[in-house]
Amino acid sequence: MLAQQLVNGLMLGSVYALVAVAFTLTMGILKFLNFSIPGIFMIAGMCTWAMLKGGASLLVAIPAVLLLGALLSYGVERVTWRQMRGGDRFVPLVSSMAFLILLENLALIAWGSDQQRLILPFQSTSARIGDVVVGVPQLVGLALAVAVVWTLDRVLRRTRIGRAVRSIAEDAETATLLGVAVDRVVPLVFAIGGIFTALAGVLFSLNYQQASPFMGEEVALKGISAMVVGGMGNIWGAILGGLAIGVVETAAIHWFGARAVDIAVYGMLLAILFGRPTGLLGGDLAKGRA
């Protein structure tokens, strides 16, 4: 049924959207494609599984994992971006990729390579609207994704920190001359991106009840694609791109099988770029069109 596939796609797309927002923050502000994001996503999912398996409640596990995501992303800023930003622009990118490999191998050492199944502390619940079945946890995840992005949008548009972020996105050197504390604002941007990434990992692991040391790689590709589809530098574009990719993916699985997923998703990406190279909502954080 078309309506059911649309609902399933929106639920999956909310995860892609959060990852796309995390990529958008560093790309829109620093022109830095942060390859550590899939590693942080994976660590969030695996730690959620490990904490629930150890008997922790969701009220403890989720805040702890979000804090871990922020700390890991802050560490990436300290080790990769801050130390290497004065060199070739590709050096931080490669060093963030090394961070991804490090996190994956640490996960392999700690938990092995098998896919793990989450045992949720509550029974799976769903609501039926006509012939459409909507998983309540997935619906909560979608609503939460939109809510946190709306909050981020308000912060970027209406607060002093938001103005500082936009000024850095336009020109970091000029922002420094104007009194913006770049070395304080940029770590905050990384930490926020880490929280968004960790939240995506938590939602994915809870909604699909699985986690593995390699779960971040495919999601990262979809997140980057969502960022490009929506328009780099536009956080609402990232949301739109993520939801669109989620819908296309589930529809492709339903009608053509799992083998057609990549053809459908990346075919849509190419089609949009041919017709609108700036993406659906091509924007610019520096100009406030977040």
For the chain, the domains span 2-110+133-287
Residue 84 pLDDT: 66
Which residue type occupies 152? L
Residue 47 pLDDT: 96
Confidence of residue 87 (pLDDT cuts 50, 70, 90): low
Residue 13 clears pLDDT 80, i.e. is over it: yes
Instruction: Report the topology of domain 2-110+133-287.
Output: ABC transporter involved in vitamin B12 uptake, BtuC (1.10.3470)
In this structure, how many other beta carbons lie within 10 angstroms of the beta carbon of residue 188? 16
Residue 287 clears pLDDT 60, i.e. is over it: no
Cβ–Cβ < 8 Å for 42, 213:
yes
Closest alpha carbon to 267 in 246, 242, 245, 239: 245
Confidence of residue 139 (pLDDT cuts 50, 70, 90): confident
Cβ–Cβ < 8 Å for 115, 208:
no
Task: Determine which of 140-149, 215-224, 279-288 has the lowest per-residue pLDDT on average.
Answer: 279-288
What is the pTM (predicted TM-score) of this model? 0.89
Confidence of residue 16 (pLDDT cuts 50, 70, 90): very high
Confidence of residue 170 (pLDDT cuts 50, 70, 90): confident
Crossing angle of helices 58-76 and 90-111, in 10° steps, is: 140
